[in-house]
Amino acid sequence: MTVQQIVFRVYSICSIFGTAFLVSRAMSEYTNYYDRVIVLTSNKLNLVLLLNCVIALLSNAASIFVYVFFTQIRTLEAKVN
């Protein structure tokens, strides 16, 4: 595992846990769904954390997709060469 992969994993974990903390805090403070959404989307820092989590989740989903569908092709190409 390279340093870049380790850094990306730490980034993903921090991003997901930060967003989970943000959402759980909003859920504990407000009982109404509308109030929760307003609190999460009205602050710029909250929006940055939410969008950062979306980017991290999409990147992880893409790497899982590549691993599941293209690992076997890479193995076959390595055997041919």
Residue 44 CA: distances (Å) to CA of 15, 16, 66, 69: 16, 17, 33, 37
pLDDT at 70: 82
pLDDT at 72: 75
Query: Can you tell me the mean pLDDT for 19-42?
Result: 93
Residue 26 CA: distances (Å) to CA of 29, 51, 73: 5, 16, 45
The answer to whether residue 61 scores a pLDDT higher than 90 is: yes
Boundaries of every domain in the chain: 3-80
Q: Please state, in angstroms and rounded to a whole number, the distance separating the CA atoms of residues 12 and 48.
A: 14
pLDDT at 79: 72
Q: How confident is the model at residue 81 (pLDDT cuts 50, 70, 90)?
A: low
